[in-house]
Structure 1
Amino acid sequence: MPRQPVYAIPANVANTQTIHFYPDPDPKKKEQEEGVPKTVRSYAGYADVDGPGTAKSHLFYWFFESQTYDPHIDADQQKELIEQTPLLIWLNGGPGASSLAGLFLENGPLRIGDDAAGAISVSPDTWNQEAHVLYWDQPIGSGYSYCETKDTYVEDEETLSQMFWLALQQFFATYPEYLACPLYVCGESYAGKYVPYIAKKIHEQNLSNTGTHLNLAGIAVGNGWIRPELSIRVMIDYAYASGFLGLGQKEVLDFAYANFQDALKAGQMKKAADLGNGLVNAVLAFGGDFYIYDVRSWDGLSVGALPAYLNSDAVKDSLHVDHEWTFADNSGPVADALKADIMADASSVYTDLIHAKEQYKVLLYTGDFDSACGYQSTEEILDEIMKDGWRNAKRLIWKQAQGNPKGFVRTLENVTQVAVPDSGHEVPAYQPQISREMLYNWLFNRRFHGQDPTSAVQAILDKAQQDADREKE
């Protein structure tokens, strides 16, 4: 696996303008073009791994160094600073979604316009302002990643996590200057399964002294698909509470939900996937096809011009790829291969990580208007994992001295949960500044400024009781 810097990519494939991410190999040339902010070291390419079985597979990555470092100075001259900086792995879900959608639409240093031209600009809200960020297309069949054996895809989380661990071994062997960085595995949606399984694989391989030790520090998951049985139950109730269902329609879904549960209990996972997906589609049909990831909308985030942009020869040359970029959300061959996994419960893997003696840091955050993988399911899973202490832990209203809440924050031991108002499923897209502040507060142990409303609420309830008692007199 060679070191492959990204010198520049086109700002728009229709013209010759470029955005630099790495100092030009010719130091006599200008580092930047007019209007382009500071450059950073960036690398892109493939990790070549075996699997599934003996098939040769290629997992695409795109890495951005933190903007806090000078890309003109060799890494070994900034060794201490670089190694103290967190390195975030970002994974989108699907199954079948490319993490480059997260890069261009959510938390990366680039943004793609929603117009037909798909012009590229530099984002002021990128997560790599104070952290290294590493985007991976995985499993194979997602984004630029592919297998040399046709129609071969990952069918389970064990194979997926083993392949990803091998890819990380290659990455850090190629870029050893980042090996000592605190490593955080992050993602959203179906990555609510990928993230904990990959982190657990790293944890297990570290314990067994297999391969190079990776400095795993924690995980972060946004709107995670963790326990599907609970998420689908919550979705039905959410749609009813929001007015998308009538009582009679809810009864129809409740009956179908019981059949879905029967399949789960019988271990018929592919049948459960069909019944569960059918339930989701039925809820949407009853509700006039509201946007599942943001109930306030009928249309959601779109990848727009991203396929045309990423499949242009100029961009593929810049990123050292020769394969077609694809994107899917719980459809297509990647999802079909993982069918037995789709409705499986991953909450026990979180339990193992949270209670590991290494005390890995865990962040679970949710956008409040997501009906598919929203707050309630995450809250109830954490209540189960953290036992009685969770309900009694302080839940802060996170905000500045003046203004509306940015979120609702609870931390107990090594676990932090944040509920983000005025946001759908893709929190970094809906609330980019708040999500970045949330992430950095968690990473760097910065304070969530806010208030604990418990005393004020108790005073309100006490006064109401006093008023009620006086009415009796």
Structure 2
Amino acid sequence: MPRNPVYGIPANLLDTKTIDFYPRDADDEVPKKVRSYAGYADVDGPGQGGRSHLFYWFFESQTCDPNLEATDQQALIDRTPLLIWLNGGPGASSLLGLFLENGPLRIGDDAAGSVSVSADTWNQEAHVVYWDQPIGTGYSYCDTAGTYVQDEDTLALMFWEALQQFFATYPEYRNCPLYVCGESYAGKYVPAIARKIDEQNGRNAGTHLELKGIAVGNGWIKPELSVQVMIDYAYASGFLGLGQKSLLDDAYGTFKNVLEEGEKNHDVEKLKQATDLGNGLVDAVLAYGGDFDVYDVRRWDDLSMGALRAYLDSPAVRKALHADRDWQCADNSGPVATALKADNMADASPWYAELIGRGYRVLLYTGDFDSACGYRSTEEILDGIVTPQEEWRKAERRIWKQAQGNPKGFVRTLRNVTQVALPDSGHEVPAYQPQICREMLYNWLFDRPFTGQDPEPVARNILEKARKDAANETG
């Protein structure tokens, strides 16, 4: 695996302008802007599928000086967190996150596909590497056509092997505190990969990876719960009538029975049937509701990719990124999702409980207007896995406030678990609330305070006053 610097990228589809990261000529006196690398890690599998190639794009933290050699600032590099970012789908490229959510670049909706530098990037204070995985996602591919990952354990082992290559190629980042982050279907990828890293570290296999924690936004974690919550959310939001909800509730009972049978007996075919039934429920809810945006009930269309597909397929961009395949991207459709069909509706919440029990830091955050995998499902998942349950329920739920007093979010922390609910946001929180989301992440990473108030005393006083007033009325 060679070191592949990204010197710069086209600033539009026509390649008439360039965004430079650092000079192409070693003698050039123009200051470097950021260290960036992109390319492939080459791993075996899945199965007998031959070699697979997982694409990455890395950005060093802006706290580091790209004009100094790494050896001259190694202590700074070592103490800077390194974040892995994974989009979900299945089949959604993590370059969606880079260009539309939390990366140092943004692509506009204009026909020219204009790219600009973002002030809201997560690499202001952290190293960030975006990975296209599993194979068939983004620029990643397998030498054997038609070969895709079918389960999380295979996916996690391939990714661990890719990380081994990455840190062997870029050893200056080997000792960084490592956090696996993602959203949506990455609610399965993230804990699976973290468990594999923990397992391999315990076996002293390969290079020890400095895993510290995981962060997941609007995670698809316990699908059985998320499907039920979506039906209830659509009804509460006015997208369903009582008769329609009753029909969906009956269909949900059938779905739940098939899923439970599949999980109990490890029956792959039943699990695939459950996925068909679960997807059917989601589609029926949307049909009843006039096809509202499942990821933001305030909208009728999902966030636009704009010209991103055309941009990433352009020869000039692929050359700059050392990518040798067309860019593929889908959301729960196409061959990547089909291969993971038996995995789709399986419950991943026990993996979070395991990681919490092992002492890893866990952040789960949600945009409140996501009907697919939003606040309520995350709340109920944590209620079932954080122990002691009563202590978690009684933990302070702080109103995190802006300077003018309006809430930025609602934050609860107990030991190594943090939950944040973010108002005025849909599924892709870094896109809807980029500055607040980044502040949330940094507060969590660096143990900075979520400034605000505990509403518990005020609320209890209100309830007590109401009780006394009611007693006086009857007296």
TM-score class, shorter? over 0.9
2: CA distance, partners of 1:274 / 1:322: 34
1:108 to 2:113 alignment: no
1:299 to 2:293 alignment: no
Alignment correspondent of 1:148: 143
1: CA distance, partners of 2:315 / 2:309: 12
1:98 to 2:93 alignment: yes
> SS of the counterpart of 2:30?
coil
Alignment correspondent of 1:34: none
1:156-201 C-alpha deviation (Å, 9 max, x unpaired): 0010000000000000000000000000000000000000000000
Q: Which amino acid aligns with 2:142?
A: C
1: CA distance, partners of 2:131 / 2:93: 8
Alignment correspondent of 1:467: 469
Output aligned runs, 1:20-31, within 5 Å.
Answer: 20-28=20-28, 30-31=30-31
2: CA distance, partners of 1:341 / 1:70: 43
- Displacement of 1:390 after TM fit? 1.2
- Displacement of 1:402 after TM fit? 2.4
Output aligned runs, 1:238-257, within 5 Å.
Answer: 238-257=233-252
Which of the numbers 170, 193, 200 marks the counterpart of 1:205? 200
- Displacement of 1:155 after TM fit? 0.2
> SS of the counterpart of 1:406?
strand
- Displacement of 1:29 after TM fit? 5.1
Q: Which amino acid aligns with 2:160?
A: W
TM-score, structure 1 as length reference = 0.97
2: CA distance, partners of 1:417 / 1:385: 13
Which of the numbers 130, 133, 138 marks the counterpart of 1:135? 130
Alpha-carbon contact 1:23-1:71 (below 8 Å) kept: no
Alignment correspondent of 1:77: 72
> SS of the counterpart of 1:266?
helix
Alpha-carbon contact 2:83-2:180 (below 8 Å) kept: yes
Output aligned runs, 1:248-327, within 5 Å.
Answer: 248-267=243-262, 268-327=270-329
- Displacement of 1:401 after TM fit? 4.5
Alpha-carbon contact 2:215-2:362 (below 8 Å) kept: yes
> SS of the counterpart of 2:407?
coil
> SS of the counterpart of 1:471?
helix
Which of the numbers 56, 63, 72 marks the counterpart of 1:68? 63
- Displacement of 1:13 after TM fit? 2.6
Which of the numbers 212, 221, 233 marks the counterpart of 2:216? 221
1:340-367 C-alpha deviation (Å, 9 max, x unpaired): 00000000100100001xx211100000
Q: Which amino acid aligns with 2:330?
A: A
Alignment correspondent of 2:348: 346
Alignment correspondent of 1:394: 396
Bigger mean CA deviation after superposition, 229-238 or 401-410? 401-410
Q: Which amino acid aligns with 2:34?
A: V
- Displacement of 1:403 after TM fit? 2.7
1:281-337 C-alpha deviation (Å, 9 max, x unpaired): 000000000000000000111212001000111000100011000110000000000
1:196 to 2:198 alignment: no
Which of the numbers 132, 152, 156 marks the counterpart of 1:157? 152
- Displacement of 1:400 after TM fit? 3.4
2: CA distance, partners of 1:145 / 1:400: 41
1:433 to 2:435 alignment: yes
Alignment correspondent of 1:411: 413
- Displacement of 1:270 after TM fit? 0.3
Bigger mean CA deviation after superposition, 261-270 or 279-288? 261-270
2: CA distance, partners of 1:15 / 1:318: 11
Alignment correspondent of 1:363: 363
Which of the numbers 33, 45, 54 marks the counterpart of 1:51? 45
Alignment correspondent of 2:177: 182
Q: Which amino acid aligns with 1:292?
A: V
Q: Which amino acid aligns with 1:208?
A: R
1:98-149 C-alpha deviation (Å, 9 max, x unpaired): 0000000000000000112110000000000000000000000000000000
Output aligned runs, 1:368-383, within 5 Å.
Answer: 368-383=368-383
- Displacement of 1:262 after TM fit? 1.1
Alpha-carbon contact 1:89-1:133 (below 8 Å) kept: yes
Name the count of aligned residue pairs. Answer: 465
2: CA distance, partners of 1:216 / 1:265: 33
1: CA distance, partners of 2:239 / 2:211: 43
2: CA distance, partners of 1:460 / 1:237: 29
> SS of the counterpart of 1:76?
helix
> SS of the counterpart of 1:457?
helix
- Displacement of 1:233 after TM fit? 0.4
2: CA distance, partners of 1:15 / 1:133: 26
* Unaligned stretches of 5+ residues in structure 2: 263-269
Alignment correspondent of 1:4: 4
Alignment correspondent of 1:424: 426
1:63-97 C-alpha deviation (Å, 9 max, x unpaired): 00000111011001100000000000000000000
Bigger mean CA deviation after superposition, 300-309 or 120-129? 300-309
Alignment correspondent of 1:35: none
Q: Which amino acid aligns with 1:201?
A: K
1:216-240 C-alpha deviation (Å, 9 max, x unpaired): 0000000000000000000000000
> SS of the counterpart of 1:40?
coil
Alpha-carbon contact 2:369-2:427 (below 8 Å) kept: yes
- Displacement of 1:241 after TM fit? 0.5
Q: Which amino acid aligns with 2:253?
A: A
Bigger mean CA deviation after superposition, 300-309 or 143-152? 300-309
Bigger mean CA deviation after superposition, 90-99 or 111-120? 111-120
Alpha-carbon contact 2:185-2:220 (below 8 Å) kept: yes
After the TM superposition, which parts of structure 1 deviate over 6 Å for at least 4 consecutive aligned residues? none
2: CA distance, partners of 1:165 / 1:430: 31
